[in-house]
Each structure stands twice: as C-alpha cells, then as structure tokens.
Amino acid sequence: MSVGQPVVRVEGRRKVTGQARYTADIAEDGLVHAVSVGASVASGRITAMDTSAAHDAGGVLAIVTHHNAPRTHPVPGREVSGPAGDTIPILQDDRVYYAEQPVAVVVAHTLEQARYAASLVRVSYALEPAVATMYQRLGEAFESRYARPVVVGDVDSGFAQADVVVETTCHLQMQHQHPMELIAMTAHWSGDELTVRASTQSVGVLRAGIAIAFGLRPEQVRVTSEFLGGGFGGKASLWWPTITATMAARVTGRPVRLVVSRAQMVAASGHRARSQQRVRLGARRDGRLTAIDYDTITETSAWYDTPPPSITSITPIPYRSPAIRAIPRFVKVNTQSPTPMRSPHEGQGLVAIESAMDELAERTGLDPLELRRRNYADREPWTGKPWSSNGLLECYDLGARRFGWSRRDPKPRSMRQGGLLIGWGMSTAFRLAESRPASARAVLHADGTVLVQMGTQDIGTGTYTIIGQVAADAVGVTVDRVTAEIADTDLPPAPPSIGSFTAQTVSGTVTNAGNALRDKVINVAVADEQSPLYGAAPEQVIVHNGRMRLRDDPARGETYAELLRRNGLPAVDAIGQHNPPGIGEGTHGRYAFGVDFAEVRVDPSLGTVRVTRYVKVIEAGKIINPRTTRSQVIGGVTFGIGQALTEVSEMDTQHARIANASFWGYHVPVNADVPAIDAQFVEVDDPHVPQGVKGLGELCTIGAAPAIVNAVAHATGIRVRELPITADKLLG
C-alpha cells in the first residue's frame, strides 16, 4: 500500500531548484503588464478622472476605467460553487464601496512603465460617510437568510436548570491570509476564447465566474494554475484581479499579466472578518452543560446581502447540551468582502466557546480537560445524528499524556520559572470532514505508467503527491509510476481547494477512477487469447506492482505493459466519479477531531507572550501521507499562533483604510516565534467517508488560538477577550 506511507513530495525537487512555475513566472510572447489603481477613499463616487498624464507616460497601451471598460454582468456570489467573492460590478460605474477598490487599470509594455503611469492617474471623489468597523453600527446588526440560526431544545429552561452560568464576550479582529505568493493573473484572449493562468484555489469557480461576468459559455474559458503559493482561503473565489486582467487583455488584444502588490493584497481578496461573540454557558455543579447560548455579530461588506460564511452557519459547538441556541447577525462595513481564512466557523467560534469552557472549569473547580470529557458529545449535538467516527477521547488521552497535563497546577500565576509566568491551556478542535462531487480520469500507458487528470488544485499541501499514492493503490502500481495533472478546467472537474475537502475528494474520486481503469484492463486481459489470464474470472485477478495475476495462482499473469504492447494499445483510460452526500446531509455527522495543548511563558513586566511547548493530536481518519501531513499540522498550528498573538489588520477608523498592509506592519509568525510542535495522529476506521479519509487542512489551525488564550489566562490570571493578545492587553 502506498497510502499511509511517508512518500516524499513529488514536486519537491522542482520547488527547491526554482523550476516550479507559478502564475507570475510564466513568460508569454507579447506579454504586457497591468497595474491596478485603487480608490483612495472607502465610500463615495468618482466625480472626475484625469488620465492624460498617465496616457502620455512611456509604454502605456491602455487605461481601463469605468468609462471605457468592457461591460460585465453581475456575478452573484452563490451561483458559483465557492464562497462569495467580488459581487460588485468592477469598473462599471462611479461607486466606491471600499478603499483600494480598483478605479482604473493601466496596461503598459513593462511593469515599471505600468506602475509609473498608474501613479499619474488622478481621481476626484465625492466622499460619503464610511463605516470602518461594526462597532460604529452595532445597532444595525441584521440576520441573514444565508446564515440560519441553530436552535436545539429550550435554552431558557436549560438555564433555569443550571447551577452555574458563565457569560463571556470575545472580540476577534480583522486578519488577512497573506499567502506568500501575491495574487497573479495572466489573461489571454484568442478570438472569443479566453485562457487565464491564475493563482487560485479553484479553477472551476474562476471559470464559472468569468463566464457569467463576460457573457461567455464556460467552454470558451480555460483556467489553469499549475503551482500555487499558498491561499488559506484568500484565493478561492472570483475577486477583481481576475476581472481586471481579463478586461485589460480584451482592451489591448495582448496577453496581460496582473500581479497585485503586497499592499493591495488586503483589498484584492477577502479576509477573516472581525467578529464579536457572546457565549453563555449553563451547567450543573458537576460541569454538565444544560444550555449554550451563542450570539455573534460579524462584519460583512457594504454592498451585498451574502454574508461571509459565518461563525454559526456551521455550529462551532462540540459538546453535548440539551439546549443550544446560536444566532448569527451581521453589520455592513466599507471593506472588501470577508471570506474564509483557515479556518472559518470552528476556527473563529471555538475561541469564544473554549474560552468560556475554561471559565466554567474555574467556576466548577474542574480540570479543564475533565470538564470537556464530561461534556463529550456522543452524537452530533445539533442534529442528534451519530458520528461517522469520533476519536476525540483518544486524542484527549494521547495529548494529555504527551504534554504532561496531569502535572498542571490549576491556580493561575502558580507556575513560574525565573521571572516568567508559565501557563498551560488546552482546547478541543473539530471540523467538518466532507468532500464534494468530482471526477477524474486515469490513463494507463503502454510503458506501464499511469497519468491521473483531475481539475483539483495543490495549494501547497501535497495534492500531487497524494493523488499518486491513492492512484497507485487503486491501479496496482508503485507510486513512482504515477503522475498527476491538475488545476486545469480542461480536466475532469473537481471542487475548490477549500473546506478541508481535497484529501477526501481525491481519495474518493481517484480511487474510483483507478479501480475503473484496473477493471477495464483486466477485462481486456481475460478476453485476450494470448494472455496467460485468458478466460479467468475478472474478480479472481489482482494487480501488484503493475502485474496482473490470479489470486490463487501467482505464476499465471502478465504485466500491464505486456498486455497493452501486445494489443497495440498506446493507452487505456477510465473516468471515476465521486458523488458524496451534500454538506451536513446523510445519515451521519462527518467530522474530524483533535486537541491542542499549549504552554506559554509570559514576561509580566513586558507583557510579551511566547509559546514554548505545543502538542497537537488529530483524528482525521486515515492519514494518507504522514510526512506531508505532519508538516501541514505544524504549519497550521503556526497559523493559529499568528491568529492568537501577532496578526491584526489595523483599521484606520477615520478613513476606513487598512493601515498596515505589509509584512512590516502585519506580523505573521517568524522562525523565532514558533516552538517545537509535537504533532500526533490517532487513526480510526471510518466506513462513512471515502477510503476512511476525513481531511484536516483546517483542523490543523482550529484549536490553537483558544488553547493559547487559555494558557495565557492560566499564566497571568488575565483572560484576554480581544485577539490578538498583544503586550498592551497584559499590562496595566
């Protein structure tokens, strides 16, 4: 079996030698460069534009504004199969909804020419009042049809039965994905056919969106993305760089590359929305929950009523309770639309829920881990469905043992070393474990190699590698015989690389394609009079290392290559489909589980927090590749350290502009911020998900921020309710 082995990343060699080609690396004949001019205000109307100086600058080919841009059709966020992106008309009218919204696109022969000319575009605005944060309009919070409340049982009677009630309100700031690769697009028209190279987590969503916007049939649009330099949710939807690059290419008749700057990244796609989360927990004296009441207010953008995937649209409550009420509400602000950032839902919601659980542990005198064990949900709490599998209790056991949790002194500020306060905190982690419909083609060549074609993406986590592993097992060859072609809308379609879907989707789809291919070739063999397998029952034939043989007579058989060559077949191919239940549908609750244990050291005189020890245990069913996955988990925890301690996009509340749109101002964790992270797996069999694979791309990060919040509270006695935990919140 190849699945389960620590196979080395197949594209690693190309990446360490600089040979992997990302969108902005690919040269084309006649390629010209586009630079976007962003609005300098966050709300208002364009009253005048002067592009004459820009036109006169050297090398300029075109300046696209709302006066001359190709007309586009609105793209409703929910009509393409991904989270909503830009649904406002781009360069279609004089309205400005957020700072850095594109108001012009300058195209020139070289990037430097385009940049210089862009700096010469003069725009005048009639300013209108801008809402910078939801705190300016909390009274206008509204419920949305896209994020329905969850109500289980009767919360009021649940609280009436409670001996202890805990109430807490947490505030999460705006944060940005800031993948290392800047968003880049190259658009190339030839006649009415359009090809877009894109840094995208979904070639399919881009194709659907472009087709709607430009009035094309989907077949007229091809989108590819061979290598992607990270995404974390920010590249999953149709955002304006795709639209503006396509327009620029249409207007100039040239292939156009548009790469947004790091400063523009805060407006070129969505972000993790600011949120306010109020949690009330009711419990018996023994810690058993009687009621959970959970109200959230999340920011959404100013122009449309499709809110971001909200914290409570997928319930972030992993505990049993007879009564649950979760009501999401929204406030419109003048920012780009929020979008998922590793991870929405549980990744944001558990910060508040798990912080409240720790307060409940203090009030009931229970160990935080014991409190969580007592409230273990043996069924999906909001539907009552059985879990497809659930290894959470094993995760608790293994994590506590490896961390040494039993040695924790529950008293805050009780653990010290030198002048530093030591805190230990933990959090439950869980995340829906789903996949989406997809198809793949598996091709066996006469040399015995296998090609898998599937329109999925590799966002850096290792899709190329796991496709090879899954296909190798299904077809019956070694993994080095398999190559994958992905991220191209000419290939069989697959869902966006979001929602931790990819590993499970690949497992289901590629297994089916590989099995179909193997069966097809076996059928050729048993019908071939010259084959040693002639006349055998197909189900009696097994394949190992590319050789078909009888199950009971290993000597009787031949290789795939021998069969194909003798029959003059250059290749045999087969399609495999994957049709899982819809999200949340089906007979079982499909989730992956985990636990985070964090140790922090806080300098009480400086307010600085360092994470010094970390254990994360994950139960995500079958782990396809422990080498790539362990690295993924460590990176995911690091992403959560950023969420907890360092990352915030600072909003200038006067002008509704983000004030720190750069790596000097937006602090992603650096090398010295991250301790050794002990990443462990509990593997369980799950017959209800394809090949027992659940997926964990987001689970890696979920749990980290609340564990650190709880560790800081244990270290200092200060429960910080506003993330990130910067030094000022621990001083004075």
Partner 1 sequence: MRLRCEVNGESREVDDVWPGESLLYVLRERMGLPGSKNACEQGECGSCTVYLDGVPVCSCLVAAGQAEGHEVTTVEGLAEGEQLDPVQQAFVEKGAVQCGFCTPGLIVATHDLLERRERPSDPEIREALAGNLCRCTGYEKILDAVRLAADRKAVS
Identity at 7, one-letter amino acid code: V
Tell me the closest approach of the beta carbon of residue 262 to partner 1, in angstroms. Answer: 5
Is residue 220 classed exposed, middle or buried when 0-12, 13-18 and 19+ CB atoms within 10 A define those classes? Answer: middle
Tell me the closest approach of the beta carbon of residue 723 to partner 1, in angstroms. Answer: 18
Is the distance from CB of 442 to CB of 450 less than 8 angstroms? yes
Is the distance from CB of 547 to CB of 560 less than 8 angstroms? yes
Q: Quick one: residue 448, left, alpha or beta (phi over 0 = left, psi -120 to 50 = alpha)?
A: left
Structure-block tokens of residue 727: 């030094």
Tell me the closest approach of the beta carbon of residue 26 to partner 1, in angstroms. Answer: 8
Distance of CA 295 to the CA centre of its chain: 24
| By CB under 8 A, residue 403 contacts partner 1 | no
Structure-block tokens of residue 572: 């045999």
**Total interface residues for partner 1 by CB under 8 A:** 60
| By CB under 8 A, residue 659 contacts partner 1 | no
Segment near partner 1 (CB under 8 A); pick from 353-361, 494-502, 657-665, 688-696: 657-665
| By CB under 8 A, residue 663 contacts partner 1 | yes
| By CB under 8 A, residue 727 contacts partner 1 | no
DSSP H/E element including 617: strand 608-619
Residues 253-282 that bind partner 1 (CB under 8 A): 259, 261-262
| By CB under 8 A, residue 178 contacts partner 1 | yes
Alpha-carbon torsion 78, 79, 84, 86, what sign? negative
| By CB under 8 A, residue 455 contacts partner 1 | no
Tell me the closest approach of the beta carbon of residue 460 to partner 1, in angstroms. Answer: 3
Q: Cβ of 441: how many Cβ atoms within 10 Å? A: 19
Tell me the closest approach of the beta carbon of residue 138 to partner 1, in angstroms. Answer: 33
CA distance 613 to 403: 8
Answer for which of 674, 718, 726, 729 binds partner 1 (CB under 8 A) is 674
| By CB under 8 A, residue 119 contacts partner 1 | no
Residues 581-640 that bind partner 1 (CB under 8 A): 627-628, 630-632, 634-639
Of 620 and 679, CB closest to partner 1? 679
| By CB under 8 A, residue 229 contacts partner 1 | yes
CA distance 566 to 545: 19
Of 534 and 663, CB closest to partner 1? 663
Q: Which of 490-493's residues contact partners 24+ apart within 8 Å by CB, and which partners?
A: 490/222, 491/441, 491/453, 491/454, 491/455, 492/438, 492/439, 492/440, 492/441, 492/453, 492/454, 492/455, 492/575, 493/204, 493/438, 493/439, 493/455
Of 126 and 670, CB closest to partner 1? 670
CA distance 237 to 84: 6
Of 276 and 632, CB closest to partner 1? 632
CA distance 147 to 74: 22
Find, among 428, 390, 432, 469, the residue nearest to 684 by Cα. 390
Alpha helices in 406-533 (DSSP H): 463-475, 502-526
Segment near partner 1 (CB under 8 A); pick from 188-196, 365-373, 530-538, 658-666: 658-666
Find, among 686, 691, 684, the residue nearest to 508 by Cα. 691
Segment near partner 1 (CB under 8 A); pick from 179-187, 245-253, 406-414, 574-582: 179-187
Residue length of the chain? 732
Residues 691-710 that bind partner 1 (CB under 8 A): none
Of 113 and 168, CB closest to partner 1? 113
Alpha helices in 529-619 (DSSP H): 560-566
Tell me the closest approach of the beta carbon of residue 627 to partner 1, in angstroms. Answer: 5
Tell me the closest approach of the beta carbon of residue 344 to partner 1, in angstroms. Answer: 18
Tell me the closest approach of the beta carbon of residue 338 to partner 1, in angstroms. Answer: 19
User: How large is the greatest C-alpha to C-alpha distance in the chain, in angstroms?
Assistant: 87
Residues 6-35 that bind partner 1 (CB under 8 A): 8-9, 11-22, 24-27
| By CB under 8 A, residue 462 contacts partner 1 | yes
CA distance 49 to 183: 27
Residues 195-214 that bind partner 1 (CB under 8 A): none
User: Which residues are marked as active site?
Assistant: 698
Tell me the closest approach of the beta carbon of residue 19 to partner 1, in angstroms. Answer: 7
| By CB under 8 A, residue 676 contacts partner 1 | yes
Of 15 and 551, CB closest to partner 1? 15
Of 381 and 697, CB closest to partner 1? 697
- Site residues (CB under 8 A) for partner 1? 8-9, 11-22, 24-27, 110-112, 178-182, 227-230, 232, 259, 261-262, 459-462, 627-628, 630-632, 634-639, 662-664, 668-672, 674, 676-677
